[in-house]
Structure 1
Amino acid sequence: MGLFGNLTQGFMGNMSEVSVEELTKEYDPYLMDGETIQTGFRLVRDVVLFTNKRIVDFDKQGATGQKMRVDSINLSSIIHVSAETSGFGMDDSEINISYISSPYYRASGGVSVSEKKFEFPKKYDIQPLYKQLQEIAYENHENLNR
């Protein structure tokens, strides 16, 4: 896909898939020991990585993109996943993740939960990623409620 296609998708709010090799070359310094990139996506300058340990969101800021915010969601904190597939026309697909954002999962006063939405181009098949994330959420839910 050319630059115009990537920019069009960026303005529409959805991501394009990037090769693991390219992402590893650029973002390896941000990975923990033993962490590997499974898949990743770019939205104009921003990038989201799905690794074997977490989801890492890179938000490049400013005119040059030199300033960057890095945020992570540990896979062990994901408790719910929903998906919406693309429809007719310009609709895109999306995956919504609910995760525990407080540092203690079994806090007596309750836990804080946050949500994150990821939008994908119409042509990207979200089903395998949804299935993987749902399996993680199910396992986390079972472990938390034992």
Structure 2
Amino acid sequence: MGLLDAILGNAAETDAQEIQLELQQLLAPGETVRAAYAVIRDLLVFTSKRLILVDKQGVTGKKREYLSIPYRSIERFSMETTGHFDLDAEIKIWVRGQTEPISKTFRNDKNILDVYRALSEFAL
């Protein structure tokens, strides 16, 4: 993962084995991390069973919120790429039972396509 990419808000693929060790206490028996992407300090983790969104909070990032979304609960998702004047790209994920989508903003299109492809692979 490039430090500059993470600071700028670009999604950067991270080492799945490293994330597997970091989240070991949260994973179900037999559940494995397949892909993980860092956006600034947050993580999108695709496991064999679910999507885990890790929101690192506070100055140090020690406080964290873990949102677990089983793939079967993802109803639809969308991607908005950057334009000439709108430099932010965005992924939205609609989860069963919620009216508003979960939204993640990226600073450019560099790796948003990889995140969208991973979402397509695991959620469909």
TM-score by length of structure 1 reads: 0.67
Which residue does 2:11 correspond to in 1? Answer: 15
Higher CA-based Rg = 1
Seq. identity, %: 31
Q: What do the CA deviations read for 1:53-79 (whole angstroms, capped 9, x no partner)?
A: 111111222222222111111111111
In structure 2, give the amino acid aligned to 1:3: L
Structure with the larger helix share: 1
In structure 2, give the amino acid aligned to 1:123: K
Divergent runs of 4+, >6 A = none
The answer to whether the 8 A contact 2:16-2:33 is kept is yes
The equivalent position to 2:117 in structure 1, one of 102, 106, 128, is 128
State the Cα distance separating 1:89 from its structure 2 match: 6.9
Secondary structure of the residue that 2:34 maps to in structure 1? strand
Q: Higher RCO, 1 or 2 (CA under 8 Å, sep at least 6)?
A: 2
Please tell me whether residue 98 in structure 1 is matched to residue 94 in structure 2.
Answer: yes
Q: What do the CA deviations read for 1:95-140 (whole angstroms, capped 9, x no partner)?
A: 2111113xxxxxxxxxx4441123344222245235325x62xxxx
Which structure 2 residue ranges, 5 or more long, are not aligned?
none
Which residue does 2:102 correspond to in 1? Answer: 116
Task: Find the aligned partners of 2:65 and 2:28 in 1 and give their Cα distance.
Answer: 17
| Cα separation, partners in 2 of 1:29 and 1:118, compared to 1, 3 Å | same
Which residue does 1:54 correspond to in 2? Answer: 50
Task: Find the aligned partners of 2:63 and 2:109 in 1 and give their Cα distance.
Answer: 30
